[in-house]
Amino acid sequence: MTEDRSAAHLPRPVEIESYGLGGFRFVGLDGLSHRGSLLALPSGMWAWEAETLADLTPAAFERVAAEVSTIDILLVGTGRDLAPLPAPLRAWLREVGLRADPMATGAAVRTWNILLGERRRVAAALLAVS
């Protein structure tokens, strides 16, 4: 049986210290880390079930869409390399009012940290990389 990790949640957005080995380590939380992909949202840091580009569907972004009124930009970390978002996802994101910027996960992590530090209304959907 697969464990449902969708409720795993850190109740505030935080900078990401490092990424790789299938997860993320957070700044200033005594080594707290998360294994797997991650949604970094205004409501906090959430476990995300997406693992590959094929998992980037509208359903995978429902939690992000629920916070659309608090997000100006959505960063999408597509893994080790930059990859375009699937056309159906791009269309759906536009419909719900989200502007998405795909980039490699490392670039998305760095951009998240900068924009979060600037107190911008940012969210990030980050595929974990090994």
What are the tens digits of pLDDT across the range 47-89? 999 999 999 999 999 999 999 999 999 999 999 999 999 999 9
Which residue do the tokens 């049986």 mark? Answer: 1
pLDDT at 9: 83
Please tell me which residue, 3 or 40, carries the higher pLDDT value: 40
Domains of the chain (ranges; CATH) run: 9-126 (3.40.1230.10)
**Where are the alpha helices (H) located in 1-130, listed in sequence order?**
62-65, 87-96, 105-117
Distance between CA atoms of residues 103 and 8, nearest Å? 25
Share of the chain above pLDDT 70, in %: 94
Give the chain's mean pLDDT: 93
Provide the 3-class DSSP secondary structure of residue 60: helix
Whether 42 shows a pLDDT value over 70: the answer reads yes
